[in-house]
Structure 1
Amino acid sequence: MGTPPSAHPTGLAAVSAALLAMNRTLEVRDVLQTILRSARDLLGARYGALGVPDGNGGFAQFLVEGVTDEQWRAIGPLPRQHGLLAAMLCEDTPVRLADVRDDPRFEGWPDAHPALGAFLGMRIVSGDEVLGALFLADKAPRHETPEPEPDRPAHPQPEQPATDHPGAQFTAQDEELLRLLAEHAAIALTNARLFERGRELTIAEERARIAHELHDAVAQKLFSLRLTAQAAATLIERDPARARAELTQVTHLAADAAEELRAAVVELRPAALDEDGLHATLAAQVHVLDRAHPARTTFHGDHPRALPAAQEEALLRVAQEALHNALRHADAATVDVALTRRGTATVLRVTDDGSGFDPAAVRAAGRHLGLVSMRERATGVGGRLTVESAPGRGTVVEMEVPGG
């Protein structure tokens, strides 16, 4: 692929740091900014831009480096795909020019736009999809290569005009280095987009699940409450005793509906596993449940140990299912959640003093109480699940996952 990156004046360490930075975040906007800033810094360009096409002849995102916020606002609205920009997005061949103004496809700039000279542009492609295009302009002599500005969230201050150094040009080595960056940028950007789409799907699925649960549980109780209240109203004068009984039932139904709503609100709270970790997330959720339910709900755990993301999510979901069963079905007075270590393994244990059940009878009746889902989550991350229960003796749900 031409001159290897290690032969470029920037050095292998700088290239490696740039590639690692691209993959350090999964937020699309941050990935785009890192790609642009890395390309500009490594190739010593005064100006840089990265455009993401919107599929309608414009750009969904257009990031710039080398101009101030005031200059960018003065330049005006985002550019359309025309002239050299359009050609770059349609052609696979990189564009390297001594002066962009000499290219026949050049169509000029807005009045506030800086005058550019040397130009290097390249597409970012994944398969047949054009993810974006990188534009660099005005190569600075090596002793004046712009320094990285990691603390600036957006556009750094501009360098001196390009006419100060008319001989500075992008080289074939620059083009090969930008090609390498574009290939890795495509991977990083694809991963970030997949992550965001997956997060959106997860949120949508969770909303659908909560909506279904609200419809099946709360809506039915509210419908019963309304009918019972109507019945009580018709009985007030001709059968006061019966009316009082119906109103008592209204009170019970209202309490049940409020309980269903509290449970739904608790489950809508974000898990925050990425930010807080499993230990803190479980502790916070147990605290909320302890305040929302009459049962005494407690949590204790060993010093937290980092686990793979899939294991943490599985442990959290099993804990939530076990808590759901204990608080809403078992009529427990106390529930304890423990997250401890057993050698190199991590053990989750949810214990309640509720009504309990006969596991064999539950299986025979075709009722699962979420047991199948919990076992699938455990085995899916290489763990195991055990459930101990008996009528009148409470329930213990334990999940163990191996350590690294």
Structure 2
Amino acid sequence: MTLRRLKWLAILAPVLFLGGLELIRQNVFPELFRSWPGYLLIGGVIVLATLFFAEAVFAVVNRLQARLTHQNHELLALHGAGLGILGERDLETLLQLVVDGARDLVGARYGALSVMRAEGGIEAFLVSGITAEERARLGPPPVGHGLLGVVLSEGAPLRLEDLTRDPRAAGFPPGHPSMRSLLAVPVVSQGEVLGNLYLTEKVGAPAFDRNDEETLGRFATLAALAIANARLQRRIQALAVTEERERIAREMHDSLAQVLGYVNTKAQAAETLLKSGQEERASAQLAQLAAASRAAYADVREGILGLRTSLAETRSFVETLQTYLDLWQEQSGVAVELVIDPTAPFDPRLSPNAEVQLLRIIQESLTNVRKHAGATRARVCLTRERHWLAAIVADDGVGFDPDALGRTSLPRFGLTTMRERAEAVGGTLSVNAAPGAGTRVTVRVPVTAVTPNVEEIAGARPDR
């Protein structure tokens, strides 16, 4: 019953009751209701009717409240999982929230979610309602045969009161818990079946109903969004890394071409001088050639280090940066430290492309420190500035006069490329330097919205 019907019932029922009582008093027992016993009888009937009516109304209200509470729980769980998707959380953590929330809300003893690879086979299999020891005894995850294979192949929900009686069932492996009632729905994104989400052993009832199926379907939709989003993020990150490798390869090719041209010129000059007997001048040319070779070797090593430093899902940006700084310090001989501002809330949530570009800008800044600054120490500072992540690379070197770098002046220290990288992801780059006072490069890139704690939201339960 809806609140609208309940409102009209609360108005009409007392009117009809009192009207009927008055008709009975006047037409059936007119004399009885003109004495004290009659009045007491009328009062007793009204009291009993009021109690019965109030009990019926509150029973309806309680059912409506229970339904509303259940819907609130469902919305909280769905909202929490949705925030996790926006926050680019770990896929398995997010899917575990989905299967746990579905099992809790629908009311089932066991739950599971499987994710299929595009080329076939299980990519991920998450369970709910059993311990880690019980899960280990079950062995490998199901391969998509039996009833679960039906859901995957047909792409339609399946609801059974007793799955053991269905001829399509493939049976259970040794040690598997006993299961009878089953509710399974496909996880579908843009017409493609990505996996399935299923519950078994309905709590408090012999079988799952249509409302349970609709609720589980909404959780399956969230799981599909999470899986599709994670795969898209992986493709974007792979594309960003590929593009960055190609960019670095072009930059290395250009720089090496200049060095090799210089080496060739010096080698020819030394050869000519030696033939003419000018050994002292030839030695000077060879010394310059050796210095150029050492510089090229250092550049190549640093370029290889940059190529080997890749951002992976299993490591945070800070961890990747710290590893690079340790290796860079070992190669360059310049002390460097990573400082994270303790006074600012630091939670870097960057797009894959922004992470790549920020890392490359820091690497290019440190290359300038090694080649041009003559510094003994460098510092990389990360801080949060509202909706921006700021990275500052500072050194104690000789510095330079930025105003002296005209549009055609050399060296440019790669500042144009660094600025283009920052602007490509919506960021900015600035340089502060002075002769004898070191150099400070500051890059700011936008940070995606920080999401609240998903586990707390998903676990929240309203009192009413």
- TM above 0.5: yes
AA partner of residue 418 (structure 2)? M
Kept in 2: contact 1:50–1:133 (CA 8 A)? yes
Kept in 2: contact 1:28–1:192 (CA 8 A)? yes
Kept in 2: contact 1:95–1:119 (CA 8 A)? yes
Kept in 2: contact 1:46–1:140 (CA 8 A)? yes
- 1:180 counterpart residue number: 218
Which of 306, 309, 323 is matched with 2:366 structurally? Answer: 323
Matched, 1:135 2:179: no
Runs of 5+ consecutive residues of structure 1 not aligned to the other structure: 142-166
Give the 3-state SS of the residue equivalent to 2:363 in structure 1: helix
C-alpha distance in structure 1 between counterparts of 2:140 and 2:298, whole Å: 52
Structure number with the higher helix fraction is 2
- 2:298 counterpart residue number: 259
Can you list the C-alpha shifts for 1:214-266, whole angstroms capped at 9, x where unaligned?
A: 777789989x79xx9xx99xx9xxxx999998996786466435523552465
AA partner of residue 16 (structure 1)? L
Structure 1 pair 189–306 and aligned structure 2 pair: CA distance change class (3 A): same
Structure 1 pair 242–6 and aligned structure 2 pair: CA distance change class (3 A): farther
**Paired-residue identity, %:** 35
Which of 73, 89, 92 is matched with 2:152 structurally? Answer: 89
Kept in 2: contact 1:358–1:391 (CA 8 A)? no
C-alpha distance in structure 2 between counterparts of 1:9 and 1:35, whole Å: 19
- 1:155 counterpart residue number: none
TM-align CA RMSD: 5.3
Matched, 1:333 2:375: yes
- 2:208 counterpart residue number: 170
- 1:100 counterpart residue number: 163
AA partner of residue 128 (structure 1)? G
Q: How many residues align?
A: 368
Kept in 2: contact 1:331–1:355 (CA 8 A)? yes
Give TM-score, length-normalised by structure 2.
0.58
- 2:344 counterpart residue number: 305
Matched, 1:370 2:417: no
Give the 3-state SS of the residue equivalent to 1:326 in structure 2: helix
Give the 3-state SS of the residue equivalent to 1:29 in structure 2: helix
Kept in 2: contact 1:385–1:399 (CA 8 A)? yes
C-alpha distance in structure 1 between counterparts of 2:338 and 2:136, whole Å: 53
Kept in 2: contact 1:315–1:348 (CA 8 A)? no
Structure 1 pair 132–359 and aligned structure 2 pair: CA distance change class (3 A): farther
C-alpha distance in structure 1 between counterparts of 2:132 and 2:439, whole Å: 61
Which of 94, 98, 120 is matched with 1:35 structurally? Answer: 98
Residue 371 of structure 1 deviates from its aligned partner by: 2.3
- 2:230 counterpart residue number: 192
Larger radius of gyration: 2
Kept in 1: contact 2:95–2:226 (CA 8 A)? no
Matched, 1:61 2:108: no
Kept in 2: contact 1:88–1:123 (CA 8 A)? yes
Structure 1 pair 251–128 and aligned structure 2 pair: CA distance change class (3 A): same
C-alpha distance in structure 2 between counterparts of 1:72 and 1:338, whole Å: 45
Where in structure 2 are the equivalents of 1:117-266 lying within 5 Å? 117-141=180-204, 167-206=205-244, 252=291, 255-256=294-295, 259-260=298-299, 262-264=301-303
Kept in 2: contact 1:359–1:390 (CA 8 A)? no
Residue 118 of structure 1 deviates from its aligned partner by: 0.8
AA partner of residue 364 (structure 1)? T
Matched, 1:45 2:89: no
- 2:55 counterpart residue number: none
Can you list the C-alpha shifts for 1:273-308, whole angstroms capped at 9, x where unaligned?
A: 997777x98788667655543556677786452466
Structure 1 pair 205–306 and aligned structure 2 pair: CA distance change class (3 A): farther
Residue 362 of structure 1 deviates from its aligned partner by: 5.5
Structure 1 pair 94–6 and aligned structure 2 pair: CA distance change class (3 A): farther
Kept in 2: contact 1:75–1:111 (CA 8 A)? yes
Residue 131 of structure 1 deviates from its aligned partner by: 1.7
Kept in 1: contact 2:187–2:196 (CA 8 A)? yes
Kept in 2: contact 1:94–1:120 (CA 8 A)? yes
- 2:332 counterpart residue number: 293
C-alpha distance in structure 1 between counterparts of 2:314 and 2:166, whole Å: 49
AA partner of residue 228 (structure 2)? T
Kept in 2: contact 1:23–1:31 (CA 8 A)? no
Give the 3-state SS of the residue equivalent to 1:36 in structure 2: helix
AA partner of residue 344 (structure 2)? R
C-alpha distance in structure 1 between counterparts of 2:69 and 2:142, whole Å: 33
C-alpha distance in structure 1 between counterparts of 2:78 and 2:294, whole Å: 58
Bigger relative contact order, structure 1 or 2 (CA pairs below 8 A, ≥6 apart): 2
Structure 1 pair 318–350 and aligned structure 2 pair: CA distance change class (3 A): farther
- 1:147 counterpart residue number: none
Runs of 5+ consecutive residues of structure 2 not aligned to the other structure: 1-62, 450-464
Kept in 2: contact 1:74–1:112 (CA 8 A)? yes
Residue 318 of structure 1 deviates from its aligned partner by: 3.8
AA partner of residue 140 (structure 1)? V
